[in-house]
A and B are shown apart, each in its own frame.
Chain A
Amino acid sequence: MTADLNIVGKSVARNDGTGFVTGRTQYTADLAFPGMLHLKVVRSPVHHARILGVDLSAAREVKGFVRALTHEDVPHNVYTILGLIGVEPEEEFVLAVDRVRYMGEPIVAILAETEAAANEAVAAVRLDLEELPAVFDMEEALAEGAPVVTHWGNNTFIYEGDTKRKVRLGDVEQGFAEADHVIEHTYRTSPIEHAPTETTGCIAVPEANGRYTVYTNTQAIYFSLDNTAIILQVPNNQLRFIGGTVGGGFGGKVDVIVEPLATLGAMLTGRPVRYVYTRTEEMQVSSTRSAEIITIKDGIMADGRIHARKVTALVDCGAYSRQTPYAITKLAANAAGPYRIPNVWIDAYCVYTNRTPTSAMRGFGVTWVTFAHEIQMDRIAELVGLDPWTVRFLNAHRNGDTKPHRKIVADATLIETMQAAAELVGHELPAEQRAMTSAPRDAEGGR
């Protein structure tokens, strides 16, 4: 099919491959600069607490200690990453002020001559904390009387005044009444780590012209620069971000966590500052994929068609929501899967708990709901006595169909993709399934 093209469609050797396989590709952590300081963070040892006091006196005595950064040093200390595209409110603290909401939350940053000195000074900081009741379970977090994680009084993100992201199509209750069977099942998933080979990190370097160059492994270089400029209240053109080569991102490096503190450190000391996560920080402090509890209630016709679907999704964003509210909108847009369902009701909640914040991860909002709807499809097949292929061909959406969020299906190829998979594995499809296409139903006189 690529006869009309010269290079698009050809497996040319990648232009950066030699660097990877010979170990010569330069990553952020490979860089070093004269006079470079090391930044390490004092983190909350508990899940939820009031901060009564922070005593830096012993840390200051550590040989190699240069200075500490506290919330008072951060010009705009409360932010939300998606503020750049208008998401409100600002909610996360660059450095904690009077409260910590998850184990590992940054309280103080230490700048020191060596990594060892920075670690020693971090260990010497004395925290006076009054522990508060913490909530880890989403259903408990939504219940009356639960510890409140957010600063607005309940434990959900607010979408345009509502506690949930909603999708509504048709009349789902009437759909259940018309259905021959109604089934309801709940699917649960765990938080998981992005586990990139290269941990999150950056080095901020003061330049002679008064600007700051930040070498970073961010996945989104302007996103990181723009958020850093807001947090530090400096003109964007005072910052130069250099990156582009990343040893594994999977969504975790869309967060903007290391650049603001490293750049602030460079500004306040006039020296290059390196802030690179240890493996343990990557595993325990960096965002995870959200855990989810997804309940799918389906009204099924005797022939296997899905007539109505109600989805209630709880998504655990941890103590700060980062990119998760956006992922939930994607979840809501994809909860019907690649199937035509005429009556749909989706309620998706972003739930705050006292755990590590969650954020973007490969499959952003879609991976877990895909897991749920595809296990559900097998259950539907079993219920009406169809094989798993047939129930999917029967319900497959086609060009011109309407999705629950009212977008008209285009570029659809579910049917063709399943036909190709059947051929690959030697599964014999009946003639009518072999003859199906994703062409609009009208073209063939409807279903």
Chain B
Amino acid sequence: MAKVRGTGMAAVNYPTGMNLGGDPSQALIHATTSGSFNVVLAATDLGQGLRTVMAQIAAETLGVPYEQIVIQTADTDTGPHDMGTFASRATHRVGNAVKVAAIEARDAVLQLASEELEASVSDLELDGEGNVRVVGSPDKSLAIADLASRAQFQYGRTIAGRGVWMKPKSEVDPETGAMDPDSTQAYACTVAEVEVDTETGIVTVLSIRSAYEVGRQVNPKLVQGQIVGGAWMAVSHALYETTEPYYPSRDHRPKDFGDYLMPGPADMPAVESVVLEVPSANGPYGVKGVGEMTANSPIPALVNAIHDAIGVRIDTLPVTPEAILRALDAKQAEAAADAPAPAEEASA
């Protein structure tokens, strides 16, 4: 009995969004008289940071500081329709809707600025800090806050935008399965190292190192949050979690976190990663999506690493200590059966 180490890898792709029934989201934006912008949505923030990335996309498009954006979401009396937060779709779909709405609001700003500055819209640019200026004439500029105020009190105009983004419905051909089920694909490759105690069956995860290609990152720290959280979930799925340890038997169902085992901080290695950015063709600023797939590549990488360590393939999740000990026993029994039996056979 010993502690043995192994390394495993896995590579995956992951689709963004859905196809059945169409997959739309909407956004509405309007300027306040002080030049900040309210972005009204019906999308849910699951904790991944949707409010933050939507504020970034709106600020980027409108040319105002991030702090000038207020996100109001998920009140159906005010928020326009949204399919929901799932399928790694929110940054892509809602982000596109916000961008479309922000472009319409920005055009209203530029139209007003062109009248005030007596310059054509095509000669105007946004400085990203809340000002419109004439290209090549830095002294000819106006604050968006002033324009927003004048729009309301002087001109009686709205500075507002509507946005929608939809992946059209794609019927599945029932005979061939032909379909267009996603908007783009993100990729991941994980290398995991484990140490297996062949006496206890306990697996210690030594490292999880991954490369991700997620299109444009809107907020790299939030992407890191997804990567680290996904690695935890993956270790949990690969080695710990089950509601029914002897599935399909329904015995031993958990009542609480006391008997639903998941890894704690001491069970996790440092999670290392690199992120590549190859902008997608159809996401806002080239976004693809990172949410769900971060849990996918580490699972098979860990199971492949266990095989590398103990020389036995385990094809059933989760790979608990019991599963490892049973696999090692089976391997030993197989080896014993294969070996030429000593005394009896000789005497027979």
Q: Hey, which bits of chain A sit against chain B, CB under 8 A?
A: 1-2, 5-16, 20, 47, 82, 84-87, 103, 136-138, 159-162, 165-169, 185-193, 195, 218-223, 225, 239-251, 254, 279-280, 283-284, 288, 291, 316, 326, 329-330, 332-334, 337-338, 346, 353, 355-356, 360, 362-364, 366-368, 370-371, 374-375, 377-379, 388-389, 392, 396-397, 404-407, 409-414, 416-418, 420-421, 423-425, 427
Q: Cβ of A222 and Cβ of B87 under 8 Å apart?
A: no
A371–B59 CA distance with the chains assembled, in angstroms: 39
Given contacts A284-B253, A374-B11, contact A168 B243 (CB under 8 A): no
Q: Is residue B249 within 8 Å, beta carbon to beta carbon, of the partner chain?
A: yes
Contact A332 to B46, CB < 8 A, known contacts A378-B8, A413-B278 = no
Complex formed: what's the CA distance from A311 to B80 in Å?
41
Question: Is A329 touching B254 in the complex (CB atoms < 8 A)?
Answer: no
> Are A420 and B276 in contact (CB-based, < 8 A)?
yes
Q: Are B21 and A86 in contact (CB under 8 A)?
A: yes
Pair B60/A8 contact, Cβ less than 8 Å: yes
Smallest distance from the beta carbon of A383 to chain B beta carbons, Å? 12
Query: Is the CB–CB distance between A406 and B189 below 8 Å?
Result: no
Taking a contact as CB atoms closer than 8 A, the residue among B87, B256, B301 that contacts A279 in the complex is B256
CB pair B299 A378 closer than 8 Å: no
Contacts of B243 in A (CB 8 A): 190-193, 283-284, 288, 356
Residues of A within 8 A of B182 (CB): 333
Cβ-closest 3 pairs across A and B: A220-B84, A85-B21, A244-B74
> Interface size (B, Cβ < 8 Å)?
119
A326 (CB) vs chain B CBs: closest residue: B20
B346 at interface, CB cutoff 8 A: no
Choose from A16, A168, A371 the contact partner of B45 (Cβ within 8 Å). A16
Which residues of A have CB within 8 Å of B71? 15
Contact B278 A7 (CB under 8 A): no
Interface string of B167-178 (1 = CB under 8 A from A): 000001011111
A sample of 30 inter-chain contacts (CB < 8 A) reads A6-B63, A13-B52, A14-B49, A14-B219, A15-B52, A160-B172, A190-B318, A192-B243, A193-B254, A195-B262, A220-B44, A220-B85, A221-B76, A239-B76, A242-B76, A245-B45, A246-B44, A248-B46, A279-B256, A280-B255, A329-B20, A337-B12, A338-B185, A364-B86, A366-B292, A367-B237, A396-B11, A411-B288, A416-B187, A418-B211
Cα–Cα distance between A118 and B181 once the two chains are bound (Å) = 45
B197 within 8 A of A: no
Q: In whole Å, how far is A228's beta carbon from the nearest beta carbon of chain B?
A: 11
Q: Which residues of A contact B329 (CB under 8 A)?
A: none
Number of A-B residue pairs having CB atoms within 8 Å of each other in the complex: 371
Given contacts A220-B82, A244-B43, A333-B179, 10 further A-B contacts (CB under 8 A): A6-B63, A8-B218, A10-B220, A14-B219, A244-B73, A283-B243, A355-B248, A367-B237, A370-B299, A417-B189
A417 vs B301: C-alpha distance when bound (angstroms): 15
| B interface residues with partner A (beta carbon < 8 Å) | 8-15, 18, 20-22, 42-47, 49, 51-52, 55-57, 59-60, 63, 65-66, 71, 73-77, 79, 81-87, 128, 172, 174-182, 184-185, 187-191, 209-213, 215-222, 233, 237, 241-245, 247-250, 253-257, 260, 262, 272-274, 276-278, 280-281, 285, 288, 291-293, 295-297, 299-301, 303-304, 307, 313, 315-318
B13 touches A334 (CB 8 A): yes
A283 to B243, CA, bound (A): 8
A30 to B243, CA, bound (A): 28
Contact of A219 among B44, B55, B215, B278 (CB under 8 A): B44
Contacts of A333 in B (CB 8 A): 15, 177, 179, 181-182
Q: Contacts A291-B247, A424-B211; is A189 near B317 (CB within 8 Å)?
A: yes
* Bound Cα distance from A288 to B250, whole angstroms: 13
Give CA–CA (A413, B286) in the complex, Å: 14
Minimal beta-carbon separation of A158 from chain B (angstroms): 11
Query: Which secondary structure dominates where chain B touches chain A?
Result: loop
User: Known contacts being A168-B176, A333-B15, is A246 close to B303, with CB within 8 Å?
Assistant: no
Looking across the interface, which residue of chain A has its beta carbon closest to that of B245? A190
B313 pairs with A7, CB closer than 8 A = no
Q: Which residue of B lies closest to A213 (CB)?
A: B77
- Note all chain B residues with C-beta closer than 8 A to A368: 317
List chain B residues, Cβ under 8 A from A334. Answer: 13, 15
Cβ of A167 and Cβ of B176 under 8 Å apart?
A: yes
Given contacts A191-B247, A193-B254, A222-B84, contact A413 B187 (CB under 8 A): yes
A367/B295 contact (C-beta < 8 A), A6-B128, A165-B172, A247-B47 known:
yes
Q: Which residue on chain B has the smallest CB distance to residue A396? A: B11
Residues of A within 8 A of B174 (CB): 159-162, 166
What A residues does B288 contact at CB under 8 A?
Answer: 411
Cβ–Cβ contact A366 & B83, under 8 A: no
Q: Which residue of B43, B172, B216 contacts A8 across the interface (Cβ within 8 Å)?
A: B216
- A330 partner residues in chain B, CB cutoff 8 A: 15, 181
Q: Is the CB of B296 within 8 A of A367?
A: yes
| Cα A221 to Cα B220 with chains together (Å) | 27
Q: Which residues of A contact B74 (CB under 8 A)?
A: 221, 241-245
